[in-house]
Structure 1
């Protein structure tokens, strides 16, 4: 995502989930692919250890590795047209050159046949030695052309000296993963501000409606303006805010400064009627056991708040579901060829025997949607809030390229417990209870209120 939002908003979505070892460049002609992605002829290697402190610049060979890595490992590769990958790569490559006034005369896509090896040879000949910056754009464009929310290319960078920086705006209502939610409606409002950050010191509060960022509105003609994210995420941003409780409008200048990141933590409290309210920000390692530990006081029911939960480990999903049911299929992982593999509840977890209400929103993505679909599909509880993000194409595996960058690709496709497609659609709720700007500004929570009425 954009720099400041990676530092302060949806941090987990912007980080590489695993580190990687060095991978030697292979300038020789590429032999036929191996069945093992770890093989030297596979074009890329699985990430297994920290990346090298220094790596060679992005080269034509790096783009070659990315191209064949997609074709060898992506679950959608059997129906991919390799010519489209190269077309998208060259489109991004030439656009980057033009932005820098460095376009090359005669640079065009060669005649392609559909044979991936023959086409790559022709494509590489056109590129010549290549331009490193344009090659990075080409890899980005090629991966973006997959239109897959779990496929991306990242260049790991060391943490900034002196710690992380950002404006401190750590959440916004229409932000879904790395972009504005195309289904979002006005207004866009702040949902979280980091304590002690520049935004907090400037008096920005949850519920504040963002009218403009650097003069750019979040919606144009009622549709989400994707360029707004870049404006909001810039290091210095002028934002125009409206306080929903008073209607006051003010414009402030925010400049990034030191921020404090808190590791994801499970929090809980007891609500009236001996109902446990547990907030789970992500399915990080150990998250399931942390939630279960919070329920050790034997409450009568539990409200599990997954709003803003960006996902995490599928293993944590099946473990937490095991506390509410045994012997259930939770989802399916489907390889490019062969039968789909069912995922099942972890029946080693003792059953809690509690009534369950799950709170969801458009920020509930990936593993969060996996959990929500399993709850709904198996009748384990009730979903309250809004439809989930629809960003659950499949769990991504990380592959290392020779410039130290990492390619993230889903190797299997995710389906819900009834073999339904959730990706791009989301999981519907049983009871609609959206959180508004005024709710946040006044401390109301219609989701929790509805959950309590159901329990």
Structure 2
């Protein structure tokens, strides 16, 4: 579940555009799919990743290069130790802060290098940036016969690609793919996870991040409690074929001329799909962005253009120089509809960009829970010589009031979280609250 969520967020939250040229023997701008075959990871691949971060990351020119090498070396040695392959004399050399001479000393210690440890070093180097839009991705071919999984693709504590440290018990399932192993085992949205592979989801009132490992395994044993009956049962789920439908906008009519539209992501063409659903110009729109992992900033400004013109929606700020304002797409005809937006902790990246623009510009009302706080800045893709890709933001995102949203999220005007019992019984507190306001 978590593994597939991370992949989805990388696909929706990151733009694969970048400058057309790069220094020789360094990373290159990703302009298309990574190659199907490439040489194995080498010390030179790690070198490319090191200079790629320093050259292209938002804060790269001002970074302490020693910290990058320290993160890489720690992960390198830890990977060797896990495999019983540690070797004597493998010590981090003295680092001076000069990125070129430090790399030369570092590479000399690594010698030919160990392929799995080098991959771990690259991953750790990027993870050490502590940036939710920075990733080291190693593409893998799709499995023969199509995708597999348990079919559980949402839980209540999700916060973008991780579990929300602010989440409170219980942890419950929010989405199950039809026809999946979970669906066939009668696992339903709203089922409370008591244990996963013997691991409790909370230690006291603190979410247990180690439960993520249970969902990335091929088989997971779940102890589940159904909120409508109070009954507890144990099911073993093995990965099997699953069918993922492409994201699509759905809509329905609510009472008194109110339209409900659910937008799962700001993918290409999403704004026009929403606008097409609203051609009747309803008096009010309830736009459901819960679980929306983000996507293209262009789709955000286009959809906002249906509700207001001449507004700043956000700012993209370089390390040095002036911030660049993003503005509503005023070529979109105004709907003239009142707007209510439903958000939750799964609303990340471009979804938060949209939510902040609505709140700061007074374009509508936010209902649900605070957003994920995962909107550091759009990422560009850079290709390494082993076929892996670094995703690195070149700018920082600020809201329309120049506020920082990353790590904080956008607060709602009316708190209306979804509970396990709500999901199990089909009740929607967000929609209910919206209708009372309208």
TM norm. shorter chain > 0.5? yes
- Superposed CA deviations along residues 63-108 of structure 1, whole A, max 9, x for unmatched, are 0000000000111223321100000000000000000000011111
Give the number of aligned pairs.
437
1:24 corresponds in structure 2 to: none
Residues 415-426 of structure 1 mapped to structure 2, 5 A cutoff: 415-426=398-409
1:252 corresponds in structure 2 to: 235
Residues 23-422 of structure 1 mapped to structure 2, 5 A cutoff: 38-41=21-24, 43-422=26-405
Q: Aligned partners of 1:19 and 1:130: how far apart in 2?
A: 32
Pick one of 444, 449, 453 that aligns with 2:432.
449
Q: Aligned partners of 2:87 and 2:213: how far apart in 1?
A: 29
1:13 corresponds in structure 2 to: 9
Which portions of structure 1, spanning 4 or more consecutive aligned residues, are displaced by more than 3 angstroms?
4-7, 14-20
- Unaligned stretches of 5+ residues in structure 1: 21-34
SS state at 2:101 partner: helix
Residues 10/45 of structure 1: CA separation in 2 closer, same or farther (3 Å cut)? closer
Deviation (angstroms), 1:316 = 0.1
1:25 corresponds in structure 2 to: none
Q: Aligned partners of 1:259 and 1:64: how far apart in 2?
A: 39
Whether contact under 8 Å (1:212, 1:239) holds in the other structure is: yes
Q: Aligned partners of 1:55 and 1:17: how far apart in 2?
A: 26
Q: Aligned partners of 2:6 and 2:248: how far apart in 1?
A: 14
- Superposed CA deviations along residues 406-454 of structure 1, whole A, max 9, x for unmatched, are 0000000000001000000000000000000010001111100001111
- Unaligned stretches of 5+ residues in structure 2: none
TM-score (norm 2): 0.97
Q: Aligned partners of 2:66 and 2:45: how far apart in 1?
A: 18
Structural RMSD (CA):
1.6
SS state at 2:214 partner: helix
Whether contact under 8 Å (2:249, 2:263) holds in the other structure is: yes
Q: Aligned partners of 2:320 and 2:303: how far apart in 1?
A: 30
SS state at 1:40 partner: coil
TM-score (norm 1): 0.94
Whether contact under 8 Å (1:153, 1:408) holds in the other structure is: yes
Q: Aligned partners of 2:223 and 2:62: how far apart in 1?
A: 46
SS state at 1:41 partner: coil
Whether contact under 8 Å (2:381, 2:389) holds in the other structure is: yes
Residues 288/15 of structure 1: CA separation in 2 closer, same or farther (3 Å cut)? closer
SS state at 1:133 partner: helix
Q: Aligned partners of 2:275 and 2:11: how far apart in 1?
A: 27
Deviation (angstroms), 1:51 = 1.9
Q: Aligned partners of 2:53 and 2:12: how far apart in 1?
A: 18
Q: Aligned partners of 2:137 and 2:296: how far apart in 1?
A: 20
Q: Aligned partners of 2:322 and 2:10: how far apart in 1?
A: 32
Q: Aligned partners of 2:20 and 2:70: how far apart in 1?
A: 24
SS state at 2:47 partner: helix
Residues 149/349 of structure 1: CA separation in 2 closer, same or farther (3 Å cut)? same
- Superposed CA deviations along residues 149-189 of structure 1, whole A, max 9, x for unmatched, are 00010011111110000000011011223221111111110
SS state at 2:24 partner: helix
Q: Aligned partners of 1:449 and 1:261: how far apart in 2?
A: 29
Deviation (angstroms), 1:15 = 4.4
More contact order relative to length (CA 8 Å, sep ≥ 6): 2
Q: Aligned partners of 1:16 and 1:318: how far apart in 2?
A: 16
1:23 corresponds in structure 2 to: none
Q: Aligned partners of 2:258 and 2:7: how far apart in 1?
A: 31
Whether contact under 8 Å (1:312, 1:367) holds in the other structure is: yes
